[in-house]
Structure 1
C-alpha cells in the first residue's frame, strides 16, 4: 500500500484495526506530520485512533499521552523523505519501551494520562 493509500485509508477509517500495530501507528504519525502542523497532526491521529478503537468495540483503548509523546518523537526526527527511509534511519522508534525513560508505568497506567497529555515524570533518566 502506498503512503497516500495508507493515510487515506487511516483517515477514512478503512484500515483493519486488528492489523494496526505499533509500526502502523508510527507510519500514520509520520505521514500526518509530513503534511500538517504538529497540533493538527495530533488531532488527526487522535481522531483516527479513536475511530479504530471504536471499530474494535474498545473506545477506551486510545491513550492521549502515549499518542502525543510518540508524535513528538517522530516530529523531532523530521519528516523528510519517504516512510521506508525514515523508519530505516530511526529503528529505535519501533521499540515499545521507548517511553520508559520519560514516563513511569504508574503514570502511563493512570486514567488521567489516558485522557489528557501528561508531562514526563522521569525526565532524563534513560533515553533511547
Structure 2
C-alpha cells in the first residue's frame, strides 16, 4: 500500500481496525511529519485518531498524553536524524519507539500518571527527565 493510501484509509476510517496497532499509529505520525509542522501534525493526528477510534467503537481508548508524547518523540528523532531516511530506516533505527512492553514513556511518566483520567483527557507534562 502506498503512503497516500495508508493515510487515506486512516483518515477515512477504512483502515482495518484489527490491523491498526502502535506501529501503524507511529507510521501515520511519521508520514504527517514529512508533510506538516509538528503542531499541524499534532492537531491532524489527534483529530483523526479520535475519529478513527470512535468509528471503530473505541472512542474511550484515545489517550491524549500518550498521543502527544509520541508525536513529540517521533518529531525529535526525525529532527536529530534527518527526515529523508525513509520509514523502514526510521523504524529500524528507533526500535525503542515501537516496543510497547518496555514502553519508552515509562522513562518520562509513572504508571500512576499514565493510567490517570487526567492524562487520558489532556496532555500532562512529563514528570521525569529524559534518559
TM superposition score normalised by structure 2:
0.88
Matched residue of 1:103: which SS? coil
CA deviations 1:28-67 (Å, max 9, x no partner) are 1100111111111011111221122112212111001000
1:122 and 2:124 are equivalent in the alignment = no
1:98 and 2:101 are equivalent in the alignment = no
| Contact 2:108–2:128 (Cα < 8 Å) also in 1 | yes
Contiguous gaps of at least 5 residues in structure 1: none
In the alignment, what sits opposite 1:89? 93
CA distance in 1, matches of 2:47, 2:61: 13
1:30 and 2:30 are equivalent in the alignment = yes
Alpha-carbon distance, 1:13 to partner? 1.8
Matched residue of 2:70: which SS? helix
| Contact 1:27–1:83 (Cα < 8 Å) also in 2 | yes
In the alignment, what sits opposite 2:46? 46
Contiguous gaps of at least 5 residues in structure 2: none
| Contact 2:50–2:59 (Cα < 8 Å) also in 1 | yes
| Contact 1:3–1:83 (Cα < 8 Å) also in 2 | no
Alpha-carbon distance, 1:123 to partner? 2.1
